[in-house]
Amino acid sequence: MCCFLTTLVLLGPRIAALVWWLFWPVRWNLVFNSIIWPILGIIFLPWTTLMYVIIFPLAGFWDWLLLILAVLIDLGSFGGGLFGNRDRLGM
């Protein structure tokens, strides 16, 4: 069950972004000027990229708060893997 949740957290936003990009490319073209930024975002910060595409035309306080929350979720997914493997590596 733990491996399933880990796979879902790591691949879920990437697959969702890819499907959204394939079915609604106009939205992605509106948000990003070039193709390199969404590709890098999907690889390294998938939750942040998805949240940025969702809140792009808006500019309120809550939008920035949601974007910061997405960044923290991305960093937490990287940091959680490092923390969980600490015992296996003998640190």
pLDDT tens series, the chain, 91 aa: 667 777 777 788 899 899 999 999 999 999 999 999 999 999 999 999 999 999 988 878 888 899 999 999 888 877 765 555 556 655 5
pLDDT at 7: 74
pLDDT score, position 37:
92
Q: Is the pTM of this model over 0.85?
A: no
Contacts of residue 73, defined as CB under 8 A and 6 or more positions apart, other chains included, come to 47
Angle between helices 2-23 and 46-55 (to 10 degrees): 40
* Alpha-carbon distances, residue 34 vs 37, 76, 89 (angstroms): 6, 28, 40
Rounded to 5 degrees, what angle do the CA atoms 52, 11, 50 make? 10
